[in-house]
Chains A and B, each alone.
Chain A
Amino acid sequence: MSGIDPITLAVLAGRMEQIADEMDATLFRSAFNPIIAEAHDASHGIYHASSGDTLVQGKSGLPIFVGVMSFAVQAVIEKAAADGDMTDGDIYIFNDAHIGGTHLSDMRLVRPFFRNGEIFCYLASVGHWHDVGGAVPGNYNPGATDAHQEAFILPPVRIARGGVLQQDIVDILMRNTRLPQSAMGDLNGQLGALDLGVKRLDALLDEYGGDTVQGALDALTDRAEALMRADLSALPDGRWEAEDFLDNDGITDTPLPIRVAVEVAGDRLHLDFTGTAPVTAGPVNIALPTAVASCYVAIKHIFPALPANAGVMRPIDITVPEGSLLSADFPAPVGGYTETILRMIDVIFSAMAKAAPERVPANAYGTINALSIAGKRANGAPWVMFSFYGGGHGGTSESDGLNHGNAPISTATIPPMEILEAAYPVVFRQWALRPDSAGAGQHRGGLGATYEIELLEETAEAFLFGERGRFAPQGAAGGATAALNAFAYQTDEGWKTPPLASKIRGIRLKRGQRVRLDTPGGGGFGPASERAPGYVARDVALGYVSDAEADAAYGSAWREAGQ
């Protein structure tokens, strides 16, 4: 550890976190696109000058980016080393997911921060743009079989040189999006966030001096490592395995295993994904940086007090087999990455729950359920209603799971039904909790939801990219699995379900016809036999659990119990 005193360290830790938070806030306020402005699908941080490791990251950005951004910075460090002419005021931009992680919609900006003529650290900003070209507006193409069909691909290039914006690059970007106005707004917001970061960091360094701040950054990373090691040491040594499946890749209806073996040895942890399915034709692949970032998200949910910096990952080894869908090479499609990383988090939870059940929740609902309904109004104007839908969280050692929560990789809220009804020609016949959707247990899972949507215009088409239609969210510590995801749509011949369970393209809907999405609840925690009969009776009285399901899962003792 460096010689910095613990008090200055605590003060500097707060100041630097605040710089990253302020960068987040700047982009959220100024972005034009609701995916950033409302869903906060963006992130900012401070990164190491030579390794690119995450030093400090904003608290309000999307959780999955904590961990993936260092790969973006590393890509820029390599590019700069190859070019050899990086100067103060340069800003790099790219969206290539195979080197920067996540998917092509995420535009990454990386800016070296110079102090006394040398690179002190990097600042970076990532945000999910509304549209970056490709075959499908919004870049959610469930039928894509390579990255070029998903979006236009930009490798790391300089959008600013020595403080001068490169209009040529801006022009190329704006010609390759269907929504240039939105893209320009987001780009300006990201540049503004980086400017603010530079200003704030300059002021901090002026006040405390470069050596002190550098010492603090090193110490904070060391401290995160020490905290992680302390947490790991508190776990029993041993090896635990877990397995789960993706339904299919959207093209062939074959289950895809995701496997992990978790090994705790003293103050170290090894996550080994050997046995996971190979790269697929459809877009449920992820690139290696995404896989590493997902491990970080899972670990941080299990140990929520850990700081958001690279020190946490030092005692953790990750093995991802080459050729697996968790380390897909360019140009394998990665547009559906959210489903795959949710399943990675699920298997890490399931394995870790065997080691430390009191620390780990049962599986959450485990699918993003990207549902879009699109058509034309009577006056010919096109409309697209695109949203992600919620489900239940897993039971924990302390309580039942949360009803209708957001996904572990996100903190986004759902748009209000009335906003959707005002903006699109639809009416929601149900926006409700889904009874019997939670896994039974001593602490049952939270409930999933039922959304039933009726079309008010002449015709429309519907698309769904979801999961958990064949394999339900798992329980922990003896808790039961939750209900499967279920999607149905009305036709002239009555209700139908998709052949690939939760993935379908181009369903034709007529006026008055409905689609219905029933999302999974969370897995149960602990044996159902240990749930107090009074709680079961209350669940039945409130309609969370039906009589029949209560009898089947918990026996009949609840019938004699008071609530």
Chain B
Amino acid sequence: MSRATVIGVDVGGTFTDVFVLDEATGKASIAKVPTTRPDQSGGFLNGISQQVDDLGKVAAVVHGTTAGTNALLERKGAKIGVITTQGLRDVLEMRRRDRPRTWGLRGDFTPVVPRDLRLEVPERTLADGTIETPVDLPAVEAAARQLLEQGCIAVAILFANAYANPENERRAVELVRGLWPNPHVSCSSEILPEIREFERFSTTALNAYLQPEVAGYLDRLASALNAGGFKGEFMIVQSNGGVMSTDTACRLPIRTALSGPAAGVIAAGHIAQAAGFTNVITGDVGGTSFDVSLITQGQTVLSPQTSIDFGMVIRQPMIEIATIGAGGGSIAWVDKGGLLNIGPESAGSDPGPVAYGGGNDRPTVTDANVVLGRIDPDNPIGGKLKRLDVEAAARAIDTHVGKPLGLETMAAAEAILKVANARMAGAIRLVSIERGFDPKRFAFMPFGGGGALHAGAMLAEVGLGRAIVPRYPGVTSALGCVIADMRQDFVQTLNAMADSVDTAALAQVMQDHVDAGQKTLAAAGTSFLSQDMVFELDMAYAGQTHTVSVPLEVTVTDGRVTPPTHAQIAAAFDATYTAAYGRLLPKGVRRLINLRTAVIGRRPRFDLMTLAPVATGSAEDALKGHRQVHFADAWAETAIYERLALPAGAVIPGPAILEQSDTTILVEPWLQATVDPFGNLILEPRP
């Protein structure tokens, strides 16, 4: 029996989305089931079983998870301890001497490891890698036993300058692994051999903090899958947009911090590229936030570091996602100076917008959409409510926005959307214009439940060329799981001058990265179209603190790295520096700070045509009726369509509303929507 089915699963707060691809036939199907709590494996398996009757036929299950994100945000990781260098136990708590907000001098910080669980031992490595004091192993053992006695489930070993020489950490971790009752032992040189102690310690401690939680969660899922007869590969999406094995995820759970959103961005990139757009800005409108990400020339942008919350720094390559506090549940309010504001306070999904009748009486962005007729009050998304309370939403808008500003209800609702759209547009400008990308060359891709209501406004506000609404915007992340490549990232700090670096030693580090990466790919049991090695050097002129990422062309033949030459390194730096800053510094000395290696196994991309509409009728067949919708300053008779019933090639002029089970698409009067051959909707100005 051939196992040819690949399944992507995205577990969200409300729904578990499943995307099933039969690689043999190219046929795809989706399922959306309620997320089960606290054990999410119930919904997980339920969703799969809706589309697959025999788990034994499934080759791979790929999962985008928010288990790690939520454990970090809600501070629900394990009780962990730290063993660190004498004199440095407070590094995690001192951060980089920052503060939560520029103005106000308010707020404090509680580290994930309290001070009494951070123990010091005699040991010291200097910056050049010299071991000044060998690690005191009896002290390490005593510390580990003390932490166990205090009830720690996981432990992180954090030594100064371990990036330069991991020997002391290696000996300590070996000893602790020998006596620790579970595999939850992390050390900083294994997680991130990169200079900067706070960032390295924080990343490692957060890894330990997540390990029991994430490993337990994945273990429950794996057991449930296996019990159902599953014999394939179970893999997890990483924050960098690649997938990893479950083993790796249990060892390095910190790499799952943005797993869920990363899968969505990967899918967006693939859908857009198939449809002919290589430059895309994705926008995910959730209940409390708007998440934006940039894809340029088909490539997602990775940021080297992110902060989950104040002081909770993770230094790992992650898909860059800019977030602002303006979502469907964000509350509209008028300040003492008479200015209309949106958020950051949000009604979330509970109690939710006023129209949901959950007890909130302050107007939200969704309430404005409801009052303006853009959301059908009789068929709310999610199916929990029978009808939305339009009148209550209108009253709330009147009381909190209309009266203070002297506006009629409809004008006040339009005003709420206008300000909300301006804020969302600001987030898009932040990732595009401010970085020198011309928005006209980009398509906007909304996904998630609310994005497609705001797409037209984004085109108008930012000057984006067009919007592309995927055929199934609600299951974008699950689809991303199925198409993500397998990827391992490595880093090693080098701290050397470019013209005198030992290139043989550098090549050996590259070789170690390649070997480790290929070993992981080989163990995955999945086939790859190809394997790519990407090498980058973080470089700068001596004296500079900001580095540039310099791509280095390195030949790898049959898995063997050819050492780069000094001239190659210098030329690569000059090219990158010139592109970034216009001109070189004639007397500058080039420095080489870190090596970054990515080992990527390219997975087969399935043909999105399998999702294409089968409908052959005309657009009229998809017409459900008409309803009054408010645009600018007047009501307009607006056609309402069943989106998935539209045939390819259909052109719907605005004003129109296209509905499907998981989203509502607004076609403003100045726009038209075209169904492309894949079933995506392309929103563009009317000719």
Contacts and interface: CB of A to CB of B under 8 A. Distances in A.
Interface of A: 6-7, 9-11, 13-14, 18, 21-22, 25, 29-30, 32, 34, 37-38, 59, 63, 181-182, 185, 223-224, 226-227, 230-231, 300-301, 304-305, 361, 364, 389-390, 393-394, 396, 398-406, 408, 411-414, 416-419, 421-422, 427-433, 446, 449, 452, 456, 541-544
Contacts of A37: 544-546
Given A30-B581, A34-B545, A404-B94, 17 more contacts: A6-B415, A10-B419, A14-B422, A227-B337, A230-B336, A301-B104, A304-B104, A361-B105, A398-B106, A411-B98, A411-B99, A417-B91, A417-B197, A421-B160, A431-B88, A431-B94, A433-B115
Contacts of B88: 417, 428, 430-432
A111 B543 CA distance: 30
Nearest to B341: A10
Interface in B108-165: 108-109, 114-116, 124, 126-127, 132, 160-161, 163
B623 interface: no
B495 A422 contact: yes
B233 interface: no
Nearest first, the 3 A-B pairs at minimum CB distance are A390-B97, A304-B104, A304-B103
Contacts of B309: none
Nearest to B103: A304
A432 B103 contact: no
A6 B335 CA distance: 12
Contacts of B127: 418, 421-422
A402 B99 contact: yes
Contacts of B115: 433, 542-544
Contacts of A18: 426, 429, 434
Given A32-B544, A390-B97, A226 B337 contact: yes
Contact of B195 (A30, A394, A419): A419
B196 A419 contact: yes
B340 interface: yes
A427 B126 contact: yes
Contact of B97 (A304, A305, A413): A413
10 contacts: A10-B341, A63-B102, A181-B588, A224-B337, A305-B335, A404-B93, A406-B97, A413-B98, A431-B88, A449-B90
B276 interface: no
A182 B495 CA distance: 22
B687 interface: no
B44 to A, nearest CB: 39
A34 B163 CA distance: 23
A394 B105 contact: yes
A300 B127 CA distance: 41
A30 B436 CA distance: 14
Contacts of A404: 90, 93-95, 97
B90 A431 contact: yes
Nearest to A189: B581
B95 A400 contact: no
B422 A399 contact: no
Given A18-B429, A181-B587, A7 B340 contact: yes
A396 B337 CA distance: 26
Contacts of A414: 96-97
A449 B95 CA distance: 12
B104 A7 contact: no
Contact of B114 (A6, A431, A446, A542): A542
B107 A399 contact: yes
A432 B87 contact: yes
- Determine the interface band of chain B, counting residues with CB < 8 A from chain A: 35 or more
Contact of B335 (A32, A227, A416, A421): A227
Nearest to A306: B103
Nearest to A420: B127
Contacts of B108: 393, 399-403, 446
Q: Which among A59, A185, A364, A404 has the highest number of chain B CB atoms within 10 Å?
A: A404
B383 interface: no
B623 to A, nearest CB: 34
A226 B338 contact: yes
A181 B338 contact: no
Contacts of A304: 101, 103-104, 106
A219 to B, nearest CB: 9
B336 A364 contact: no
A404 B95 CA distance: 8
Interface string B543-582: 1111000000000000000000000000000000000010
A456 to B, nearest CB: 8
B89 interface: yes
Contact of A399 (B106, B132, B495): B106
B94 A449 contact: yes
Contacts of A419: 195-196
B418 interface: yes
A446 B110 CA distance: 12
B94 A433 contact: yes
Contacts of A390: 94, 97
Contacts of A427: 124, 126, 132
A411 B196 contact: no
Q: Which among B115, B405, B433, B588 has the highest number of chain A CB atoms within 10 Å?
A: B115
B198 interface: yes
B177 interface: no
Nearest to B546: A37
Given A6-B405, A223-B337, A452 B87 contact: yes
B339 interface: yes
Interface in B319-369: 335-341
Given A22-B434, A181-B585, A223-B338, A541 B116 contact: yes
B523 to A, nearest CB: 33
A231 B127 CA distance: 52
Contacts of B495: 422
A544 B110 CA distance: 13
B87 A430 contact: yes
B423 interface: yes
B199 interface: yes
A446 B109 CA distance: 10
A401 B544 CA distance: 34
Given A34-B545, A542-B114, A416 B105 contact: no
Q: Which among A21, A402, A449 has the highest number of chain B CB atoms within 10 Å?
A: A402
A227 B335 CA distance: 9
A232 to B, nearest CB: 11
A227 B339 CA distance: 10
Interface in B560-617: 581, 585, 587-588
A419 to B, nearest CB: 6
B447 to A, nearest CB: 25
Contact of A182 (B99, B196, B543): B543
Interface string B378-420: 0000000000000000000000000001000000000100110
Interface in B489-524: 495
A431 B84 CA distance: 12
Contacts of A456: 126
